Amino acid sequence: QSVLTQPPSVSAAPGQKVTISCSGSSSNIGNNYVSWYQQLPGTAPKLLIYDNNKRPSGIPDRFSGSKSGTSATLGITGLQTGDEADYYCGTWDSSLSAYVFGTGTRVAVL
Amino acid sequence: EVQLVESGGGLVKPGGSLRLSCAASGFTFSSYNINWVRQAPGKGLEWVSSISSRSSYIYYADSVKGRFTISRDNAKNSLYLQMNSLRAEDTAVYYCARAKGDVETARDYWGQGTLVTVSS
């Protein structure tokens, strides 16, 4: 059972915006950096956002991250069919001494 | 180009053992903390274990503690996961993933994964 909670799915039309929430606690999100990962069908996860809001090189600025208290949010603007994937948040949990992932959110482009 | 290539997966009976390997290239392996992450069929990501660059710090998920052992050989640019007393619930694709910085940080590069199936 994951300590980080995400909505199971979100959807929007092409060109629209979606946001994915990630809820945790003071031992994880509240005191550590959050990352976001994209997993396209049948492939390995890929880092999208690190340190709450930074994008690795090559990740378009349509993807953004933010954090407030014990929650984090991933935003995707200008939604494309190629964005259909599972998205996971992740962070270190200082109480567990463990890296924890969110429950995952499937993004569907209508 | 950073590459991580896992191997060693396969079919094993409950109670059996398996050793996974991860071959790294394209970066200074000995300077990075490395992790194992798994994903059961149709399920989400689950962190398994982390090892610091010089093996000074090692962490395990409670679900594998006492059964799995992570290790690395910096001279061979390789990471290992010795899995003993395997259970059906250990069935998953196992990924090795590099930590961007400290062991707490983002996993910035991932291998393609190797499938472990525990079944009689």
Per DSSP, B87 falls in state -
Nearest CA in chain B to A54: B106
Instruction: Pick the closest to residue A49 from A72, A83, A23, A24 (CA basis).
Output: A72
- pLDDT of B54-84, one tens digit each? 999 999 999 999 999 999 999 999 999 999 9
Instruction: Pick the closest to residue B16 from B95, B83, B113 (CA basis).
Output: B83
Which residues of A fall within a CB distance of 8 Å from B45? 37, 39, 45, 88, 90, 101, 104
CA distance A91 to A95: 12
Query: Hey, is B75 helix, strand or coil?
Result: helix
CA distance A26 to B82: 33
| CA A16 centroid distance within chain | 17
Output Rg (C-alpha) for chain B, integer angstroms. Answer: 13
The beta-carbon neighbor of B107 closest among A39, A47, A98 is: A47
- pLDDT of B6-63, one tens digit each? 999 999 999 999 999 999 999 999 999 999 999 999 999 999 999 999 999 999 999 9
Query: CA B5, A102, A106 angle in degrees (round to 5)?
Result: 85
Which of A28, A87, A99 best probes binding to B when mutated, by most B CB atoms within 10 angstroms? Answer: A99
Nearest CA in chain A to B5: A44
Per DSSP, B65 falls in state T
The beta-carbon neighbor of B106 closest among A44, A47, A103 is: A47
Instruction: Inform me whether the pLDDT recorded for A52 exceeds 80.
Output: yes
